Structure 1
Amino acid sequence: MSLAQEHCPAVVSPLNDTELAALLQQVQGWSVQAGKLVKTFRFANYYETLAFVNASAFISHREDHHPELHVSYNACQVAYDTHSVNGLSRNDFVCAAKLDALI
């Protein structure tokens, strides 16, 4: 099963370095910055950007896992982390893969 097909469980563990490296290989264009999983998505215009934001809100609500979003005219930066583990968990990568599948 691919990451995009998984669902986020309520209880998770923090990732170790080996798990983190393996999961990073499965999500193109994402990087770890200041302890968060980050990617900037670029679009042709504001309408496309907001359509992406709305789709990401639907995913976030369904998975009960919410990123930080920084929105501009033609871009949306997404940053995931898992507060309950004070770092990154598999849920961050599951949601990242779901967002990638939108594009």
Structure 2
Amino acid sequence: MSMLDMNCTHGASALAPAEIAARLAGMDGWAVADGMLERRFAFRDYHETMEFVNALAFMTHRQDHHPELKVTYNRCTVRYVTHSAGNQLSDNDFICAAKADALYAQRAGA
């Protein structure tokens, strides 16, 4: 089952470094920075940026796994970490990253 088809779970365990590396290998644009899973998304303008942010907010609310966001005119940086796993990365972070990628791809095709 792909990360895109999964849903976040409460009590997710922290991943080992090898597990993080394996998951990261299949995710273009994502990197680990300061212990968080991070990607910067680019848009044409503020309107597109905010459309993405609102769609992301809806998805993350449904997953009950909320990112740290930095929003500017035509960029949005998304950062995930699982606080309940001791501020470590868990499958929840990669699940939401995959879903964020799908939202971005969907908007790019619109």
What's the TM-score, normalizing by structure 2?
0.91
Q: Give, in whole Å, the separation in 1 of the partners of 2:83 and 2:9.
A: 14
Unmatched tracts of structure 2, length 5 or more: 106-110
TM-superposed CA distance for 1:89, in Å, is: 0.4
- What does residue range 1-103 of structure 1 map to in structure 2 within 5 Å? 1-85=1-85, 86-102=87-103, 103=105
1:26 shift after superposition: 2.1
SS of the equivalent of 1:57 reads helix
3-state SS in 2 of match to 1:4 = helix
Unmatched 5+ stretches in structure 1: none
Q: Secondary structure at the match of 2:38?
A: strand
Residue 73 of structure 1: SS of its match in structure 2? coil
Partners of 1:84 and 1:6 lie apart in 2 by 19
**TM-score normalised over the length of structure 1:** 0.97
Measured in 2, the distance between the counterparts of 1:26 and 1:5 equals 15
- Distance across 1 between alignment mates of 2:79 and 2:16: 19
The Cα shift of 1:2 comes to: 1.2
User: Over aligned residues, Cα RMSD in angstroms?
Assistant: 0.7
Query: Which amino acid in structure 2 is aligned with residue 16 of structure 1?
Result: A
AA aligned opposite 1:44:
R
Task: Deviation per CA, 1:80-99: give whole Å up to 9, x if none.
Answer: 00001121001000000000
